[in-house]
Structure 1
Amino acid sequence: MSNATVITAVPNLPFIDIVREYDAPRDLVYRAYSDPELVVQWLGPDRLTMELGEYDVRDGGSWSFVHRDTDGTGYGFRGVFHSATPPERIIQTFEFLGAPGYVSIESVTFEELEGGRTRAVAHAVYPTMEARDAMIENGMEGGVVEGNNRLDKILARLQEHADSK
């Protein structure tokens, strides 16, 4: 089953909201968001590979990675985890190194649903409308949708493995 990714950017508000449901329990979805070995497999557009610098999901932990295109072009990102409350919530900053100084703060809340499913609700706050709009105009939606589709496959594999134990 494929779940839709819903991205909302209300006019004149510097926010982006992303809601996605997964056919997996909350602890497994949280793990996929917080385990560096899993994050590199799903985060970002299909055409890019991820080179992870650090990914330390804990209060005060840092993260950094480069998404690399097939021609070698790199797109760097970094941030700090301000709060990590397994399996409920992650709050972090997000900065694209191609536009330094435009740091957003993002929270992702993981809600348990019936039937062993999970809803992830992300809320990103940008310093300006221009920064928010630049994020949208530079392909964010495609990368988020493609990444979530890959995450579905990873979660199914992890769930199958857990069920076989």
Structure 2
Amino acid sequence: MPDVILTRRLDAPRDLVWRACTDPATFAAWFWPPRLEPRYVLDARVGGSWRVESPVALMAVGGVFAVVSPPELLVYSWRWDGEQEESRVELRLVPARERSTLLELTHTGISTDETAADLRQGWNDYLDRLPAALSERDG
């Protein structure tokens, strides 16, 4: 099975990056683009659920948190509405240079190379929006 593994160095302290991944309002500032008019549910606790849906694009994805270990590790399931395949996302936040954080993303349990390519593109799009959201919150 193919995996998606991405690393980003973010110019923000680890606690701010953690908040961007676990706080509903901050998460909403970067995850899906506003043009999709996304709606978010994010209950970042073990057993809590998360969901993002777009009435405009008629799609949704969600899952359940398996590990919530602030401010270092977040693990949750990932399943698109209408699909049987469930995969797993692990976000590890490592302190880097002063006030910066290394975000290590690993998305596993992906069944095909095509699905992995789509997920890689999606994650790159999401993570491309994250620095702007962090700078707005850090200001």
* Counterparts in 2 of 1:91 and 1:82: CA distance versus 1, 3 Å: same
Structure 1, unpaired ranges of 5+: 1-12, 161-165
The Cα of 1:121 is off from its aligned counterpart by: 0.4
- State the match for 1:90 in structure 2: 74
C-alpha contact 1:46 1:147 (8 A) present in aligned 2:
no
In structure 2, distance between residues paired with 1:120 and 1:67? 26
Equivalents in 2 of 1:159, 1:32: separation in Å?
A: 11
Matched, 1:28 2:16: yes
Counterpart in the other structure of 2:105: 122
Are the counterparts in 2 of residues 57 and 84 from structure 1 also a CA contact under 8 Å? Answer: yes
- Does structure 1 retain, via aligned residues, the 8 Å contact 2:14–2:100? yes
Larger radius of gyration: 1
Partner of 2:46: 59
1:1-165 to 2 correspondences below 5 Å: 13-45=1-33, 47-52=35-40, 54-68=41-55, 72-98=56-82, 100-128=83-111, 130=112, 132-137=113-118, 140-160=119-139
* Structure with larger RCO (C-alpha < 8 A, sep 6+): 2
Q: Shift of the alpha carbon at 1:135?
A: 4.2
The Cα shift of 1:127 comes to: 4.8
Structure 2 length as normaliser, TM-score?
A: 0.89
Does the CA contact (< 8 Å) of 1:45 and 1:143 recur in 2? no
Q: Is the 8 A contact 2:91 2:103 kept in 1?
A: yes
Instruction: Calculate percent identity across the aligned residue pairs.
Output: 26
Q: Quote how far apart the aligned CAs of 1:126 are.
A: 1.7
Structure 2: unaligned runs, 5 residues or longer: none
Deviation at 1:144, TM superposition (A): 2.7
Letter in 1 for 2:133: I
Query: What letter corresponds to residue 25 of structure 1 in structure 2?
Result: P
* CA distance in 1: counterparts of 2:85 and 2:108, whole angstroms: 11
Please give the alpha-carbon distance, in whole angstroms, between the structure 1 residues aligned to 2:61 and 2:86. Answer: 10
